[in-house]
Amino acid sequence: MLAAMNILITGGSGFLGARLARTLLQQGSLSLRGAPARRIERITLTDIAPPPADLAADARVTHVGGDLLELLAARRLPGAGTDAVFHLAAAVSGECEADFDLGMRSNLAATQALLEACRALGSRPVLVFASSLAVFGKLPGQPLPEPIEDQTLPTPQSSYGIQKFVCEQLVADYARKGFFFGRSVRLMTVSVRPGRPNGAASGFLSGMIREPLAGLKAAVPVPAATPVALASPARTVEGLLRAAEAPDADWGPLIALNLPSLRTSVGEMAAALETVAGREATALLDWTPDAAIGRLVSTWPGDIQWDRARALGLRADASFEAVVRDYIRENPQAVKLPVK
Domain spans, the chain: 4-189+232-258
Distance CA 338, CA 340 (A): 7
Distance CA 213, CA 328 (A): 9
pLDDT at 298: 84
Residue 327 annotated among the catalytic residues of the structure: no
Distance CA 292, CA 296 (A): 7
CA distances from 14 to 71, 88, 307 (A): 17, 9, 29
Distance CA 210, CA 191 (A): 9
Distance CA 130, CA 227 (A): 22
Give the global pTM: 0.96
Model confidence at 198, pLDDT cuts 50, 70, 90, reads confident
Q: What is the pLDDT of residues 3-60, one digit of tens each?
A: 999 999 999 999 999 999 999 999 999 999 999 999 999 999 999 999 999 999 999 9
β-pair type (189-190, 262-265): unpaired
Burial of 204 (0-12, 13-18, 19+ CB in 10 A): buried
CATH architecture of 4-189+232-258: 3-Layer(aba) Sandwich (3.40)
Mean pLDDT of 249-255: 93
Beta strands in 108-255 (DSSP E): 126-132, 181-187, 189-190, 218-219, 227-231
The answer to whether residue 104 scores a pLDDT higher than 80 is: yes
β-pair type (29-30, 38-47): antiparallel
pLDDT at 94: 84
Distance CA 45, CA 326 (A): 26
Closest CA to 264 of 193, 204, 340, 320: 320
Looking at 15, 86, 160, 181, which residue is catalytic? 160
Instruction: Among 47-51, 58-62, 65-69, 137-141, name the one with the lowest average pLDDT.
Output: 137-141
The answer to whether residue 296 scores a pLDDT higher than 90 is: no
CA distances from 193 to 94, 302, 330 (A): 16, 19, 11
Q: What is the pLDDT of residues 68-98, one digit of tens each?
A: 999 999 999 999 999 999 999 999 888 998 9
Q: What is the pLDDT of residues 201-211, one digit of tens each?
A: 789 999 999 99
Question: In 10 A of CB 112, how many CB atoms?
Answer: 17
